Amino acid sequence: MQPSAGFTLIIIVLHAIALSAVLISTATYFTLLVLSVLLLGSAALGLRRSLSPVTLHWRSDTLLDIKTPDWNSVCQLLPGSFTCSWVIVLALKTHDGKRKRLVVARDTLDDSQFRAFRVWMRIVAQRAMSDGSSV
């Protein structure tokens, strides 16, 4: 998957607005410095996560192979995952029991891959419902 230009832009704009609000406030210089450093650190972390490469392979069952710079795991798709025309939110459970969420924006995949992923999620949900569980 490639980085999402939309999410990256949102991170930059929201942090710029917050930083400008802090800088025009009437707080002490020390408070301004601390808040500015915290906001810049938050922006750097958000951009690092937004721009980091993610490799995602789905299987025929409810398992996904996910590789990011922070973690590499085979994850199970959980109930609470959903899809719509512009975003897929995956609720995942890693092999060691941790729960994570992965947001897949439409612009991170080409149109055919995004469509195929949405179809795969519908098929998995139908199978889960026929087995008595839900995804």
Condensed to tens digits (0 to 9), the pLDDT of residues 47-100 reads 887 777 778 777 767 788 888 777 777 888 888 888 888 888 888 888 888 898
74 and 41 inside one domain: no
- Chain centroid to Cα 131, Å, comes to 28
30 and 16 inside one domain: yes
19 and 41 inside one domain: yes
pLDDT in tens, 106-117: 888 888 988 988
116 and 60 inside one domain: yes
37 and 99 inside one domain: no
Dist CA 124 CA 133 (whole Å) = 11
108 and 46 inside one domain: no
Which domain covers residue 13, as residue numbers?
A: 5-51
What is the number of domains present in the chain? 2
pLDDT computed for residue 134 by the predictor: 47
